[in-house]
Amino acid sequence: MVGDQPGCPIIRISPYELHINDPSFYEKLYRQDGRWDKYDWCMKAFGAKSAMLHTVGHYSHKRRRAALNPFFSKVKVANSQFIIQGAVEKLCNRLRGFSATEVVPLGSAISALTRDVSAEFLFGMSFNHLDDEDFNSGILAMHQNGGKIWRVTKHQKMMKITKDIYANELKSANKVTTDDSHKKHTLVHEILRSDLPPADKTLEHLYDDVVTISSAGFETSAHVMRAVLYYVYKNPDILNRLREELAAASQKAIGSGEAELNLTALEQLPYLTGVLMEGLRLGMPVSSRLARVAPDRELVYDKWHIPPGTPVGMTMLLLNHNEDLYPDHKRFVPERWMGPTVRKNADKTFAPFNRGTRSCLGQQ
């Protein structure tokens, strides 16, 4: 019997699905080898059945994801740093325009930043929400309330994604797929110019891919950034140490003839890395269960043999607050990530972007 004892790490959360709370099982469930499907019942709740992110079957997902991997490669991201730098500069100029007595809607501002950056990267055109007087705060409210609705949509197929705002981009992209001189290299062009079969390039597929991929990067990124800012500014010691590290790195870059810090240089800063990883731990992009299905083999956890086709999930929320893994787990402690041994051990359990064949496409 599953979960028949208090504190049992494996429980049945529905007639069909199991949940496991044991860090040692994470790398066994979320892995690259083998066939892994998503849970069909859960994916239907998003109302975007044609999206690559919601593709249930292992092989269909593998084919469709392979076509998009180059667009989200680290090289592509590194070459797009100017998009982030331009948006951050615009945000800083907006913030300088607030008087000393005004309340700054920083939460909405950060959301506007991630939306504009993501839109420019994906579509070659910004939403320009950073230019809106209130940073288009209504979008933030919609995303945050969506988390409450999610409890219902998993049971009732009532969530339908509005697609009209993407229509012009998709239609214009469809006309230039064979024009190599076209300056834009957008997500839509990547799909249409790929080797995917025509069935994966229909307007419905494009709609669902564009909406889900862009939405997945909007509020998740903003949430982590807000968490980092909150904890850093709440603790003056952390703030001062971070500023000192960044200032020293900036001076070093200037001395080397660089106009500004680039991504490669920032990735070498140990304290900044610790701050970001701790921000990902406490402000995790996704905290809900991510069920996986092994359709062709049984899974074994301790004394339990789980039949093929059984949805099994874990959640980063419980892993990231596991006291054995992270002592004093509620505290924001960047130093916990600064030792090479700690980082190496964390590779087995720390996965803010998930792991395995279904890990986050845009984690770079």
Q: Assess contact for 247 and 254: CB atoms under 8 A.
A: no
Cα atoms in the 13 Å half-sphere on the side-chain side of 325:
22
Residue 153: which of 44, 306, 70, 228 has the closest Cα?
Answer: 44
E-strand spans in the chain? Answer: 10-12, 18-20, 37-38, 292-293, 299-301, 304-306, 311-313
Contacts of 343 (CB under 8 A, 6+ apart): 337
Q: Is 92 annotated as a binding residue?
A: no
Residue 12's beta-bridge partner residues? 18
Paired tokens of 5: 């004892």
Contacts of 156 (CB under 8 A, 6+ apart): none
Residue 279: which of 355, 201, 227 has the closest Cα?
Answer: 227
Q: Assess contact for 58 and 33: CB atoms under 8 A.
A: no
Residues at the binding site are: 360
Residues at the binding site for heme are: 360
